[in-house]
């Protein structure tokens, strides 16, 4: 059996294991170790496991993961995300669909702290779904807005998706964070536009809420300043060249803890919950990365990435056509696979093709993360849909999936904009202090 055939068999086994709900890290460990053992020998396979695990775990750059996760968890425990939602609600809650739009804004703000789509959907679902139900919002709109708004967690920095992409492709975490800012804000705007169009066509979907007084607006806005300040310090510090991403994460986590303790919005019990959740989430991400670094050498030894790359570049479609084929592949995979699994499985194959065609790897990282966002709400897997279902168990699953379709169209519109205007993603990283 040729190395290429062994590689394809290994990929098929990996996909089967993922379909059987075997954890991503374990599946990649298994296939990678067995594959390298077959292509070389067990000694080489175990050597890869030990060397890759040690080199990855000792990387100082990866400190950005637990620190930003801790910052987001502390901000959740201290109620920052709720106060941003309240501020948005006070300004636009009296619009048609205003509560849903405020949920999208709140999700975007929470995304700028947590970097987790699942945490964003869960938190905003608990905050907003009951309120929208009280004002007789359509379940389709309210649940769709929460599920779609939660996807902003892996596009608006800090994003675990960008960190994984950076580690897998050896790109700058700071540049990727900055590249996600403008597309994230544009997508937030597209979501709000989607809500306005839906409620204009059918006002019953999202009735108007009460109009807040100017005093209530000022009070609510002042309450959101700690979150806005935290984002400005961390992301602004990276853009200005004041902090590295790791330093920004450490300062952000420290400021979030100090704010919560000094204002007594964060109890010691809440701090302990934030710490333990951060540890468990970090462990999951690290295991996925280690698994990817064991699986990667197997793919390289099998020459599958080279084979697929040659096939793609030989297609008579031109560079943009090849990119569209790759994006369609992500769209299909997103219906069945979890985002981390897609990222670690496809990067060794698609990334050399993209760079070989002359596309900017930072731009491609943003496009890929948007595609991963789509996978969070597409049937039948759509993990954000299941999160919303857990918060609103009385809503039928099919109703939630119908609710996310208009937001999927908004995501596709963003991808089109990114293809037509790559500077949408590159304008900030190309002007950051010290950018080459």
| 94-124 pLDDT per residue, tens | 788 888 888 888 888 777 776 677 777 777 7
Evaluate whether residue 46 is within a structural domain: no
For residue 56, is it within any domain? no
**Residue 39 lies inside a defined structural domain of this protein:** no
Question: What gap in Å lies between CA 402 and CA 165, rounded to an integer?
Answer: 30
Confidence at residue 434, expressed as pLDDT on a 0 to 100 scale:
52
Tell me, yes or no, whether 334 lies in a domain. yes
- Answer yes or no: are the C-beta atoms of 191 and 143 closer than 8 Å: no
pTM above 0.75, yes or no: yes
Domain assignment present for residue 26? The answer is: no
Within a domain: 282: yes
Banded pLDDT at 433 (limits 50, 70, 90): low
Q: How many CB atoms lie within 10 A of CB 433?
A: 9
118/24 Cα distance (integer angstroms): 17
- For the segment 373-427, what is each residue's pLDDT rounded down to a tens digit? 888 888 776 778 888 888 888 888 888 888 899 999 999 999 999 999 999 999 9
Q: Is residue 83 part of a domain?
A: yes
Write down the H helix ranges in 242-316: 245-262, 268-302, 304-314
**pLDDT, tens digit, 9 for 90 and up, residues 330-386:** 888 887 777 777 888 888 888 988 998 889 999 999 999 999 888 888 877 677 888
296-333: pLDDT as tens digits: 788 778 877 778 777 877 778 888 899 999 998 888 88
Residue 430, pLDDT > 60, answer yes
Domain that holds residue 145: 62-426
Average pLDDT, the chain: 84
Within 8 A by CB and 6+ apart from 37, the residues are 44, 45
Quick check: is 24 in a domain? no
- Is the pLDDT at 435 greater than 70? The verdict is no
DSSP state of 140: H
Q: Provide the number of structural domains found in the chain.
A: 1
Mean pLDDT across the stretch 210-217? 82
C-alpha of 153 from chain center: 5
> Tens digit of pLDDT for each residue in 7-66?
888 888 888 887 787 887 888 888 888 888 888 888 877 777 777 677 776 777 778 888
Are 63 and 42 within 8 A, CB to CB?
no
The residue assigned the tokens 């989430």 is: 281
């Amino acid at each position: 059996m040729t190395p290429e055939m062994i590689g394809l068999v290994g990929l098929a086994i990996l996909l089967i294991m993922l379909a059987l709900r075997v954890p991503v890290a374990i599946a990649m460990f298994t296939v990678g170790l067995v594959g390298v053992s077959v292509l070389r020998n067990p000694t080489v396979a175990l050597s890869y496991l030990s060397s890759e695990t040690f080199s990855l775990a000792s990387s100082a750059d990866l400190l950005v993961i637990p620190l930003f996760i801790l910052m987001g968890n502390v901000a959740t425990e201290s109620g920052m995300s709720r106060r941003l939602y309240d501020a948005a609600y006070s300004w636009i809650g009296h619009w048609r669909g205003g509560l849903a739009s405020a949920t999208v804004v709140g999700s975007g703000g929470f995304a700028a702290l947590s970097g987790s789509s699942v945490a964003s959907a869960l938190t905003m679902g608990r905050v907003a779904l009951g309120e929208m139900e009280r004002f007789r919002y359509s379940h389709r709109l309210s649940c769709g807005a929460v599920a779609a708004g939660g996807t902003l967690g892996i596009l608006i920095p800090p994003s675990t998706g960008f960190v994984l992409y950076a580690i897998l492709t050896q790109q700058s975490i700071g540049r990727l964070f900055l590249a996600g800012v403008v597309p994230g804000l544009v997508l937030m705007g597209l979501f709000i536009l989607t809500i306005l169009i839906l409620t204009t066509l059918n006002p019953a979907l999202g009735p108007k809420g009460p109009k807040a007084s100017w005093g209530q607006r000022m009070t609510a806005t002042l309450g959101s300043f700690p979150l806005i300040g935290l984002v400005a310090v961390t992301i602004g510090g990276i853009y200005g060249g004041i902090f590295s991403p790791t330093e920004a994460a450490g300062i952000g986590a420290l400021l979030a803890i100090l704010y919560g303790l000094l204002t007594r919005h964060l109890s010691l019990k809440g701090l302990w919950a934030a710490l333990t959740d951060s540890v468990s989430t970090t462990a999951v991400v690290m295991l996925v990365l280690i698994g990817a670094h064991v699986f990667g050498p197997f793919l390289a030894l099998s020459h599958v990435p080279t084979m697929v790359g040659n096939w793609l570049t030989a297609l008579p479609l031109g560079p943009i056509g090849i990119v569209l084929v790759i994006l369609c592949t992500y769209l299909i995979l997103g219906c069945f696979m979890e985002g981390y699994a897609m990222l670690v499985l496809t990067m060794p194959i698609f990334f050399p093709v993209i760079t070989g065609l002359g596309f900017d790897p930072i731009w491609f990282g943003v496009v890929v993360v948007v595609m991963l966002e789509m996978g969070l709400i597409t049937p039948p897997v759509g993990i954000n849909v299941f999160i919303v279902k857990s918060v609103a168990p009385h809503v039928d699953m099919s109703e939630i999936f119908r609710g996310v379709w208009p937001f999927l169209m908004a995501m596709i519109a963003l991808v089109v904009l990114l293809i037509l205007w790559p500077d949408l993603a590159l304008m900030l990283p190309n002007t950051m202090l010290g950018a080459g």
